[in-house]
Amino acid sequence: MRPFVLNYALPVESSAAADPYTYDSTQQLNILSDGRPAITDRAVLLAAGTTTSTAGSQTHFDD
């Protein structure tokens, strides 16, 4: 039996562009190659865009 979701799953395409930062699990931050947090680089922020989550406000009365 094939799970329903596999009818819609797409293979992950590898991107030709490399991220200018890497994740540092000890600091729990994205770090640039020169050691600065990625949040300090305006060009990275403009290229990456923003994300928001509304799940908390829709599922919890105290958010």
Helices and strands counted in the chain (H then E): 2, 2
| Single-letter residue type at 54 | T
Give percent above pLDDT 70 in the chain.
67
Higher per-residue confidence, 10 vs 34: 34
Would you say 31 and 24 are in contact if contact means Cβ atoms under 8 Å apart?
yes
Average pLDDT estimate for 38-48: 86
Query: d(Cα 23, Cα 38) in Å, to the nearest integer?
Result: 9
DSSP 26: T
Higher pLDDT, 3 or 52: 3
Average pLDDT over residues 53-63: 57
As a whole number of angstroms, the distance between CA 26 and CA 3 comes to: 37
